[in-house]
């Protein structure tokens, strides 16, 4: 992790809430208002009703009907102008804004004809194109005093039989923003994720609870400075804050059990849903955002109680030290 990325992500408050990217509805202005009012980390919403799904958004048409070349022009998300105006008028106090792109591996997988030569072989070329496409947006945010966290969405990562060369494929996207990350709503290939060493990692705890391999890898990543976004609630918000809080606390306990400091983990924790909510209803998305805010409040309250208990314990230790006079 670079010093710049660490400095940027360290500005985020513990348990900051963030959306994965896609939102329901077809009103860009309303979607942007919702993002600015409901989440701690602003993100430019992708609206499948207007932009298409995460593949079509970048390729322009369904992958079965097109090839790909670096010259293919990608239009900006319909909500971009409204989003840029909103964050310019009311920038977040931490000055961090998230943008997301469909990952080059997932785009290559979508284009690939099964049984043919693996399309992932030109994933770095696709990443160069993605980086050049998103750079004007990152520059526009920078002009307004904001740092961009660029999250690369790779749901197809666990579908590839061969993963050689993928870390190098992400290199153009690693360089273009102030910090970069991976969003994996699949079962993470942990060896590859550790090798990639993203500044930011967003995982789905709802469908992929942590096992021993995941806990070890997450511990290693957290020790090197990675910020982890825990996907603690389903996109429908079923279960509400109670289950989402148990999911978060259980995952953090597993990681802390590997020798990490609980306060350090909290400082590098962000809260999200398990995936984007673009396929859900507006009501469900509102419930997701409310659930995440509630989980964040509970986590912050318990962290404060833990710190207070720690301070009281230290005070008792000092009160028993010989020769120390505590009388007024």
Q: Where are the domains of the chain?
A: 3-319
Q: Rounded to an integer, what is the distance from CA 301 to the centroid of its chain?
A: 23
C-alpha–C-alpha distance, residues 235 and 292, integer Å: 11
For 126-155, how does the pLDDT look when each residue is reduced to its tens digit (9 = 90+)?
899 999 999 999 999 999 999 999 999 999
More confident residue, 82 or 109: 82
CB 234 within 8 A of CB 188: no
For 24-60, how does the pLDDT look when each residue is reduced to its tens digit (9 = 90+)?
999 999 999 999 999 999 999 999 998 876 655 555 5
Say how many C-beta atoms besides its own lie within 10 A of residue 312's C-beta: 10
Say how many C-beta atoms besides its own lie within 10 A of residue 8's C-beta: 23
Ramachandran angles phi, psi of 151, nearest 5°: -105, 130
What would the CATH number be for the domain defined by 3-319? 3.20.20.210
Per-residue tokens: 236: 């429908």
For 221-278, how does the pLDDT look when each residue is reduced to its tens digit (9 = 90+)?
999 999 999 999 999 999 999 999 999 999 999 999 989 999 999 999 999 999 999 9
Give percent of the chain above pLDDT 70: 82
């Amino acid at each position: 992790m670079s010093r710049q990325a660490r400095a940027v992500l360290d500005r985020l408050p513990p348990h900051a809430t963030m959306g994965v990217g896609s939102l329901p509805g077809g009103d860009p202005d309303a979607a942007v208002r919702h993002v600015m009012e409901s989440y701690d980390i602003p993100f430019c919403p992708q609206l499948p009703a207007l932009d298409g799904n995460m593949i079509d958004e970048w390729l322009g048409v369904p992958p079965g009907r097109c090839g790909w070349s670096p010259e293919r022009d990608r239009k900006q998300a319909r909500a971009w102008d409204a989003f840029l105006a909103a964050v310019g008028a009311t920038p977040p106090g931490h000055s961090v804004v998230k943008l997301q792109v469909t990952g080059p591996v997932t785009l290559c997988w979508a284009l690939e004809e099964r049984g043919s030569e693996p399309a992932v072989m030109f994933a770095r070329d696709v990443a160069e194109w993605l980086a050049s496409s998103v750079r004007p947006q990152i520059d526009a945010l920078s002009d307004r005093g904001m740092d961009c966290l660029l999250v690369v969405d790779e749901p197809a990562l666990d579908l590839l039989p061969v993963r050689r060369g993928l870390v190098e494929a992400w290199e153009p996207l690693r360089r273009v923003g102030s910090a970069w990350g991976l969003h994996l709503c699949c079962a993470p290939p942990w060896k590859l994720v550790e090798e990639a060493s993203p500044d930011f990692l967003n995982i789905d705890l709802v469908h992929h609870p942590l096992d021993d391999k995941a806990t070890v890898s997450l511990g290693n990543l957290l020790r090197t400075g990675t910020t982890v976004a825990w996907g603690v609630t389903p996109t429908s918000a079923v279960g509400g804050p109670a289950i989402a809080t148990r999911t978060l606390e259980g995952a953090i306990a597993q990681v802390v059990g590997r020798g990490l400091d609980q306060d350090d983990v909290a400082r590098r924790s962000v809260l999200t849903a398990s995936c984007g909510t673009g396929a859900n209803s507006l009501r469900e998305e509102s419930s997701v955002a409310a659930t995440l805010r509630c989980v964040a409040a509970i986590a912050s309250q318990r962290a404060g109680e833990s710190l207070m208990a720690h301070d009281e314990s230290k005070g008792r230790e000092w009160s028993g030290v010989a020769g120390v006079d505590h009388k007024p």
